Amino acid sequence: MSRPAVFLDRDGTLNAEVDFLTRPEELVLLPGAAAAVRRLNEAARVVVVITNQSGVARGKLDEAQLGRIHARLDELLAAAGARVDAYYYCPHHPTVGPDAYRKDCDCRKPLPGMLVRAAREHDLDLGASWTVGDSLRDVEAGLAAGTRAVLVATGKPDRLARESAACFAAADLGAAVDAILARG
């Protein structure tokens, strides 16, 4: 039976925005983020991080370093009784990097590839799911996958989205989770 999920952008949504986060010790959770994730866990929502990581294509970090950053995020969340159920990332860039990473792909947000893959691999109901992010490309990826979406005012100054039945704005992840849980 398909389950509802909440897809979370990483940088600017869960943790402080850093230009090309490359080391675990640079990762700092945003205030209230761990408590918000814990509330999603308690409400039986599958929590999936979806993140563009073109720093891999640009040579700023490798996939092993990215794994260590996600392990650090897991540690910080676990300290607050929260967890991420799965991570999906796009290491590609359409114009820079070595051939293995320089390409147009379906996983780079605003395209929905990461969400669709996660739904297939974890039996998730996209129509009953939400996407939360700090940029329009996060919202667009969620809407393209069939989720509802929330644009948070943390991270990037990308605040041009119109509120609608499928998309609304929230101050931060905690406020987004309040709205998601209130809407069922």
Signed CA dihedral, 27, 31, 37, 42: sign only: positive
Q: How far is CA 57 from CA 15, 86, 95, 103, 109, in A?
A: 21, 22, 9, 10, 15
Radius of gyration over every alpha carbon of the chain, rounded to an integer in angstroms: 15
Residue whose tokens read 């909440």: 6
Signed CA dihedral, 42, 1, 139, 50: sign only: positive
DSSP letter string over 35-59?
HHHHHHHHTT-EEEEEEE-TTTTTT
In the chain, the amino acid numbered 94 is: P
CATH code of the domain containing 14? 3.40.50.1000
Of 144, 142, 123, 52, the C-alpha closest to 168 is 142
pTM of the model: 0.94
| 147: number of Cβ within 10 Å | 28
Q: In sequence order, what are the beta bridge partners of 150?
A: 132, 168
Q: Which domain holds residue 131?
A: 5-183
How many domains does the chain contain in total?
1
Summarised one tens digit per residue, pLDDT across range 69-105 is 999 999 999 999 999 999 999 999 999 999 999 999 9
Q: In sequence order, what are the beta bridge partners of 149?
A: 131, 167
Summarised one tens digit per residue, pLDDT across range 6-54 is 999 999 999 999 889 999 999 999 999 999 999 999 999 999 999 999 9
Give the SS3 label for residue 183: helix
Summarised one tens digit per residue, pLDDT across range 88-98 is 999 999 999 99
